Structure 1
Amino acid sequence: MNRFRSALSTLILVAISAAPSSGQPSPDRGAVACRDEIGPVAAKRLAAQCRDASPATHPPCNVVNPCAMMRDEIERSCRMFRASSPLPADLCAAGRGP
């Protein structure tokens, strides 16, 4: 029984240490965080636009993710809602920044 408890304790410690320390997702290994690519202010603006556009329950709209990932989510949402047009035209405009 003690061996089982010891193994279980070790497994729990490994699981806890492997979990992210913050509530924010971490970017893919090797990918540049959007806040590092375009700066924190522009990245926050892009993340907000992404959240406004995305119907996903857990969209990739976070400054620690690559900017391209958030832009792709905005484009995907615009394509998905093109027929019903609930999204603002400026959000779905081609070439829109940041």
Structure 2
Amino acid sequence: MPLPAQRGARMLHKRSLNLSGHRTSVALEPEFWHALHLIAHARGLALAALVGQVDAARPPDRPLASALRVEALREWMPALPEMAGTDRQDQLG
């Protein structure tokens, strides 16, 4: 029987993209990929272009997968506060 972490890892879909001339891979849940496709379409962008914009704007200490999830949340939840440099627990709790 697989460990819980192994079961969860199978739910992630990995995509390879070319960002700033470098090949990179990002693993996200299918629901996030779907949301990002919808966002890219609504903005008139290819998925790779949207990912490139998010990559360029993310803080250096935030992983790309995390930044993409936050971008999807902000699109569907515009009232989500900007939490950079704050105690995230206080903002959410």
- TM-score class, shorter-chain normalisation, is 0.3 to 0.5
| TM-score, normalised by the number of residues in structure 2 | 0.37
Q: Which structure carries more strand by proportion?
A: 2
Higher relative CO (Cα under 8 Å, sequence separation at least 6) belongs to 1
**Which entry has the higher C-alpha Rg, 1 or 2?**
1
